Amino acid sequence: YGYIVMDKAYLALIPGFAMMLLVLAFNLLGNSLRDALDPREIEKA
């Protein structure tokens, strides 16, 4: 597998980039849900 990646780096970069975007999306979704549903945050506003 290492030899394939050495010749065609995009075979490793494209899935890695997709996973990075997926983790970022879940992180942003979690932050948004926390901001919307946190009762302590509602009291401060």
Return d(Cα 15, Cα 22) in angstroms, integer: 10
Return d(Cα 20, Cα 11) in angstroms, integer: 15
Q: What pLDDT does residue 3 have?
A: 77
Q: What pLDDT does residue 24 have?
A: 99
Q: Which amino acid type is present at position 37? A: L
Q: Would you say residue 45 has pLDDT above 60?
A: no
- Per DSSP, the residues of the chain read -HHHHHH-THHHHHHHHHHHHHHHHHHHHHHHHHHHH-HHHHHH-
